[in-house]
Structure formats: C-alpha cells, structure tokens
C-alpha cells in the first residue's frame, strides 16, 4: 500500500485504478519526474481486457492487472503537457527512465508517449518502437 502523501509529482487521481498499480512503479515514476525536471502527464494507465483489445494492446499487456499473477498492473504511458515530445525531450525522458531503473521502455514513432513498466514476467532490458 502506497502512502500518496509521500509522492511529490503525481496525484492518485491521475491514474485509473491506482490501488491496482504496483507500488514500486509509483515510486519509480516519482523519481523519474524529479530527474527529468519537466511536467509529465499520465496518458494511459490501467485498462480492462476489453479496452486493451480496443486499443490494440498486447495480449499480456502490463496495463491489464488480470494478466499479472499478483493482480497488479505496471504499465504506464506518459506524455508532455503539449502531448508530444521534441526529439531532445524524447532523448532526455528515455535517459531519465533508464537512470531511475526502468528496463522496459516503449517509444512511439509519433513522439507522443513513452511506455514504461516494471513487469518482471516480461523480457527485461528491452526498448521497442511502435
Ligand atoms: Zn503502454
């Protein structure tokens, strides 16, 4: 159980079903925001299986808690307040994500989001581009 009063940069209500978000993930996101130094907006958090299918999410998506053995989800997409990263910002957010310990990072060709998760049942030390 996370004590949200100790989280500096994110509010509980920025996440869908925050009680199902893996606590380690919240701490890492907060560290990431501190390291990155710019506002970050949660653009995708928890999904139910139907929503995941609608958006073309992976069958074992880290956004879907029912796929995880412990019932927690760990997949978050972040964007900027402008809803798009510059190429430099994309480099900086990726660098900061790695620095705070993320080892599963997804990038998008339109520069609009970065996917991060701490799903240890999925391959580690991977970066993909959708
Ligand atoms: Zn994602």
Q: How far is the CA of 5 from the centre of ligand 1 (A)?
A: 26
With helix as H, strand as E and coil as C, how does the chain read?
CCCHHHCCCCCHHHCCCHHHECHHHHHHHHHHHHHHCCCCEEEECCCCHHHHHHCCCCCCCCCCHHHCCCCCECEEEEECCCCCCCHHHHHHHHHHHHHCCCCEEEECCCCCCEEEECCCCCCCCEEEEC
Residue 87: name the closest of 66, 65, 112 by CA: 112
State whether CATH 1.10.10.60 applies to domain 4-129: no
Q: How far is the CA of 112 from the centre of ligand 1 (A)?
A: 12
pLDDT tens-place string over residues 43-98: 999 999 999 999 999 988 999 999 888 999 999 999 999 999 999 999 999 999 99
Taking the domains of the chain in order of start, what are their residue ranges?
4-129
Percent with pLDDT over 70 in the chain: 100
pTM of the model as a whole? 0.95
Q: How far is the CA of 4 from the centre of ligand 1 (A)?
A: 22
Q: How far is the CA of 39 from the centre of ligand 1 (A)?
A: 18
Q: How far is the CA of 7 from the centre of ligand 1 (A)?
A: 22
Per-residue pLDDT averaged across 18-34, rounded?
A: 96
Q: Is the pLDDT of residue 99 over 90?
A: yes
Question: In whole angstroms, what is the distance from residue 87 CA to residue 73 CA?
Answer: 29
């Amino acid at each position: 159980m996370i004590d949200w009063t100790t989280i500096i940069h994110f509010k509980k209500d920025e996440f869908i079903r925050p009680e199902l978000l893996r606590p380690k993930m919240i701490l890492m996101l907060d560290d990431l925001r501190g390291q990155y130094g710019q506002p970050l907006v949660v653009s995708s958090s928890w999904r139910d299986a139907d929503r995941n299918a609608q958006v073309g999410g992976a069958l074992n998506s880290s956004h879907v808690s029912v796929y995880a053995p412990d019932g927690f989800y760990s997949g978050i997409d972040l964007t900027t307040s402008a809803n798009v990263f510059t190429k430099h910002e994309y480099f900086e957010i990726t660098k900061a994500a790695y620095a705070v310990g993320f080892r599963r990072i997804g990038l998008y060709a339109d520069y609009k989001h970065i996917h991060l998760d701490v799903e240890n049942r999925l391959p580690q030390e991977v970066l993909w581009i959708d």
